[in-house]
Structure 1
Amino acid sequence: MASSNDNLAVINALDTARTQWYHITAIVIAGMGFFTDAYDLFCISTVSKLLGRLYYFDPTTGKTGQLPTIVNNMVVGVALVGTLSGQLVFGWLGDKLGRKKVYGITLILMVTCAIFSGISFGSTAKSVIGCLCFFRFWLGFGIGGDYPLSATIMCEYANKKTRGAFIAAVFAMQGVGIIFAGLVSMILSKIFLGRFPAKSFDEEPILSTPPQADFLWRIVLMVGAFPAALTYHWRMKMPETGRYTALVQGNAKQAAMDMGRVLEIEIEEEQDKVLQFKAANEYPLLSNEFYKRHGVHLIGTMSTWFLLDIAFYSQNLTQKDIYPAMGLVKQANEVNAIEEVFENSRAMFIVALFGTFPGYWFTVVFIENLGRFTIQLLGFFMMSVFMLVMGIKYEYLKDHKWLFALLYGLTFFFANFGPNSTTFVFPAELFPTRVRSTCHALSAAAGKAGAMIGAFVVQSYTLDERVPKIKHALMVLAFTNMLGFCCTFLLPETKGRSLEEISGEDGGQDERYVTVKPPALVKEIARKKMRRG
């Protein structure tokens, strides 16, 4: 391992900096993106049943309007397809063009598409839903870019003692976004109930969905544009990260100036040393060198995130179907359309407030003491236990709804005080600077592939609310969590170490994979570069 004296001055300054205002600013700026991401992704669950009442109601059938399974899956899941695509594109661009250059584009997409999702127009149900799906795909595309860029920027700004807590704090804003999605839907539906009273479906099917309800879902979706718009100016004022400027662009002077201004200290330029670091770490992602150093790590981050998101998004996106089965909300024919939104939103808000939200912040508090590895193992194991219990004892728990709600909430708690947070932290820390954003994007995209399984497969499996299907789905999800537990052993602990030490960029951590001793390798590559120059 290289000593701190052998490391670059700009990196030493970042690693040893005391926690100060710029850290808090970076957490807020990056965190507001995740607040918006979560709101936009999960608010659709509060209003998707309303879309069925509005656009698929047929009074001749004597049933409440319900989105067909394939339509429901598209409405809920299309943003996840866009997110996966956006992660790959923006993750790659973040390494090629720089983190800052593409950071603002993601917000512009999120703001624009959130507004147009609410405006979705058309003269038929098919055209309105089609328009909604189109804009939610591009909304997801912008959200996808936020994952690797926010993680990478926060990671490269942070000091090594509190880096995990800072990255987890950015991601914890997702919990606030989920709470806000339930709260906004709950408040707006309550306002609409007061202004536009409606009958229950059994009393008067046609009057159970007042025409004004069409504005409700549109407003809920458009609210997501505001928090993203508020942070655009501050994102554009952030300088490029010092690590990217120095280790990828090779510009020691600019890195020292930018980070010196941020940290309010003088930093030595060390241009020759920067070129040596850069020369020793220019192996591409698709190379034997990367495979030897980080192939197992990439498999570990991708597999654990993939398995986690199957369970996590299945839980979140199927809440509207599980709540009636649990008895936490009334059945569709007992309430009107707006009351149904209110009840689902209230249940989502309560579960998020007492189950989801605390888990994120437990991770922030304990990640530097317990470590990423331990927290991820604990989370996967406990999620598996609680889901298995709910699956095996489903018939009993269905008659004891508060016990069911407690177990259900605990799965959310340990998802977030566990792998939902740590799978975001690990890929930001494990990989070299020049491919960090891309590797995080690949890991996150694997997660969204799992989320799509949750949206398109598990949700279809539970959509009709028949007991055997929900029961079996919970047991399958318990098994996927145990697979995630096993795959966690592919990952090393990263707490308390410099990013360059973890990734081997300083010539230390991955020495066992290199046939030439790192200092000699650095000098040899630098000499060859100078000769070619």
Structure 2
Amino acid sequence: MARGGDNLQVLSALDAAKTQWYHFTAIIVAGMGFFTDAYDLFCISLVTKLLGRIYYTDTTKLDPGSLPPNVAAAVNGVAFCGTLAGQLFFGWLGDKLGRKSVYGMTLMLMVLCSIASGLSFGNTPTGVMATLCFFRFWLGFGIGGDYPLSATIMSEYANKRTRGAFIAAVFAMQGFGILAGGIVTLIISAAFRAGYPAPAYQDSPKDSTVSQADFVWRIILMLGAAPALLTYYWRMKMPETARYTALVAKNAKQAAADMSKVLQTEIVDEQEKLDTMVTSTGNSFGLFSREFARRHGLHLLGTASTWFLLDIAFYSQNLFQKDIFTSINWIPKARTMSALEEVFRISRAQTLIALCGTVPGYWFTVALIDVVGRFTIQLLGFFMMTVFMLGLAVPYHHWTTPGNHIGFVVMYAFTFFFANFGPNSTTFIVPAEIFPARLRSTCHGISAAAGKAGAIIGAFGFLYAAQNQDKSKVDHGYPAGIGVRNSLFVLAGVNMLGFILTFLVPESKGKSLEEMSGEADDGEEEAVGGRAVRPSQTQMV
């Protein structure tokens, strides 16, 4: 591709465009997908206790019931398996067919499977759980497609000066989705609890989980379809991005026409210039080529590995908040509450954490990412997450004593703040900026899928650390909750490793997508870990 000054007018116009209404429209349309993603992925952690109470209660032993470990792991983790597959598939498809062409597919899949999840059926508890897992896998598949497509579309629509903030704003809708999941669960559980009061478990084991409680989790899951459905029309109205149309489809005329309408300005059709640039540069290497490995191999390793490590910690914390809160006695033991009371208390705790730590962290990133830069924010986030997790783990038994719970919750909230004002946001943003247009969605999908592999480890692996503690040790005087403490130590180590691997990730602040990807010039310097290197200096992976 040509140097920055010789770039196509349509791309230069996008880079230099002032912030306009279409930017905010794109943020809302793409962001509502992430609102739905977060709601669907995290609301399951709010209802798993309720599922156990409804389907696995043993009234003969006065046991309030909980999902067996293998069932809990499947219910929590199966959506991540679908998400991983969807990120790879739709990421690849987005580069082959175009971003817009597959954008509606992912949204409709999310809508249908959200509704179907709430309608899960079966004559036995195993049948209901199997049906739920089936639909949640395909829900995750649709969610997975939203990651590379939304990130790529927003990066290709944004201007150079505020691109990071726009992509971060799309991702920040995830925080509102988590918050909405907690609030919706609060409202529904409170409404059913008021309408059908139930005694504490030890007073009446058979009545502690009223039959109407089965409606609660189904309504919560089905409501995830609403925000996605509301934005479907507007997704279909968005034109294909100019960068895909020009640089991948090689249709400069259509790109100029589309962006003339979006930017409300006259853009010259430069088809001959595009044809000349394509034939003169030979910049058409594929994903599995030696040239890609030489130019972007370390970049892809950096984005994938840091996202993988971040999601181990982030999803472990989110999915098993209820176990951590119970272990420090912030939420009473299950046998002291009715089923709806337990759901109410868990959702209240998660809502408080989201409101105080999760949501502010996202919007700090939006405000500062184009000032401080991606590299610095990611380093800071990983470092502070390590510090706060060690601050929770080292004096863990201090936090579990009565009177110290507020301090634990405050520090716990800070780990979420620095996850979101840190690598949870930047790992999403950077892969959408540094790879060539023809491979951008695919590479983002690969990086995101690596992240979901980490989430799967968090969902399946840390479940046993947090829930299946060694009862023989407890019987011999070891403190209950030692599994949670060890998990926090492991997660601190994971975050420190993420800090180190961040040095493989390039800084993209203030640069055009073509400069970062090397499409602006074959010999253009690329930034790696805050320093500039020429493509020839990048090692092959």
TM range (shorter): over 0.9
Q: More displaced, 394-403 or 171-180? A: 394-403
Structure 2 residue 454 is the aligned partner of structure 1 residue 456: no
Q: Report how far residue 281 of structure 1 moved.
A: 2.5
Q: Which residue among 408, 411, 416 is the counterpart of 1:407? A: 411
Amino acid at match of 1:513: P
User: In the alignment, which residue of structure 1 is the partner of 2:394?
Assistant: 392
User: In the alignment, which residue of structure 1 is the partner of 2:535?
Assistant: 513
Q: Deviations over 1:142-185 (max 9, x none)?
A: 00000000000000000000000000000000000000000000
User: In the alignment, which residue of structure 2 is the partner of 1:106?
Assistant: 106
Q: Report how far residue 327 of structure 1 moved.
A: 2.2
**Superposition TM-score, scaled by structure 2 size:** 0.94
Amino acid at match of 1:169: A
In 1, Cα distance between equivalents of 2:143 and 2:269 = 36
Structure 2 residue 455 is the aligned partner of structure 1 residue 441: no
User: In the alignment, which residue of structure 2 is the partner of 1:204?
Assistant: 204
Q: Which residue among 416, 422, 430 is the counterpart of 1:418? A: 422
**Conserved? CA contact 1:310–1:453, under 8 Å:** yes
Q: More displaced, 4-13 or 245-254? A: 4-13
User: In the alignment, which residue of structure 2 is the partner of 1:520?
Assistant: none
User: In the alignment, which residue of structure 1 is the partner of 2:529?
Assistant: none
User: In the alignment, which residue of structure 1 is the partner of 2:329?
Assistant: 327
In 1, Cα distance between equivalents of 2:275 and 2:362 = 39
User: In the alignment, which residue of structure 1 is the partner of 2:70?
Assistant: 70
User: In the alignment, which residue of structure 1 is the partner of 2:369?
Assistant: 367
In 2, Cα distance between equivalents of 1:397 and 1:443 = 36
In 2, Cα distance between equivalents of 1:65 and 1:2 = 65
Q: Deviations over 1:234-280 (max 9, x none)?
A: 00000000000000000010000001110011111111222244453
Once the two structures are superposed, the pairs formed by residues 251-330 of structure 1 within 5 Å of their partners are 251-279=251-279, 280-330=282-332
In 2, Cα distance between equivalents of 1:437 and 1:380 = 25
Amino acid at match of 2:218: R
User: In the alignment, which residue of structure 2 is the partner of 1:29?
Assistant: 29
Q: Report how far residue 4 of structure 1 moved.
A: 3.6
Q: Deviations over 1:187-223 (max 9, x none)?
A: 0000001111111111111111000000000000000
In 2, Cα distance between equivalents of 1:509 and 1:260 = 31
Amino acid at match of 2:118: G
Q: Deviations over 1:430-470 (max 9, x none)?
A: 10000000000000000000000000001221014642111
**Conserved? CA contact 1:247–1:277, under 8 Å:** no
**Superposition TM-score, scaled by structure 1 size:** 0.95
Identity score, percent: 62
Q: More displaced, 461-470 or 428-437? A: 461-470
**Conserved? CA contact 1:103–1:149, under 8 Å:** yes
User: In the alignment, which residue of structure 1 is the partner of 2:436?
Assistant: 432
User: In the alignment, which residue of structure 1 is the partner of 2:473?
Assistant: none
In 2, Cα distance between equivalents of 1:378 and 1:169 = 19
CA, structure 1 residues 453+277, in 2 after alignment: closer, same or farther (shift >3 Å)? farther
User: In the alignment, which residue of structure 1 is the partner of 2:344?
Assistant: 342
**Conserved? CA contact 1:277–1:506, under 8 Å:** no
**Conserved? CA contact 2:4–2:520, under 8 Å:** no
Q: Deviations over 1:338-381 (max 9, x none)?
A: 00000000000000000100000000000011000000000000
Q: Report how far residue 514 of structure 1 moved.
A: 5.8
In 2, Cα distance between equivalents of 1:468 and 1:190 = 33
Q: Which residue among 350, 353, 359 is the counterpart of 1:351? A: 353
**Conserved? CA contact 1:186–1:345, under 8 Å:** yes
Q: Report how far residue 62 of structure 1 moved.
A: 2.2
CA, structure 1 residues 435+133, in 2 after alignment: closer, same or farther (shift >3 Å)? same
In 2, Cα distance between equivalents of 1:401 and 1:219 = 32
Q: Report how far residue 45 of structure 1 moved.
A: 0.7
User: In the alignment, which residue of structure 2 is the partner of 1:489?
Assistant: 503
In 2, Cα distance between equivalents of 1:258 and 1:148 = 22
In 1, Cα distance between equivalents of 2:230 and 2:306 = 33
Q: Report how far residue 89 of structure 1 moved.
A: 0.4
In 2, Cα distance between equivalents of 1:122 and 1:2 = 61
In 2, Cα distance between equivalents of 1:46 and 1:277 = 54
Corresponding residue SS for 1:434: coil
Give RMSD over aligned pairs.
Answer: 1.3
User: In the alignment, which residue of structure 2 is the partner of 1:145?
Assistant: 145
Q: Report how far residue 410 of structure 1 moved.
A: 0.3
Q: More displaced, 462-471 or 96-105? A: 462-471
Corresponding residue SS for 1:433: coil
Corresponding residue SS for 1:340: helix
Structure 1 portions without partners, runs of 5+ = 516-533
In 2, Cα distance between equivalents of 1:210 and 1:468 = 33
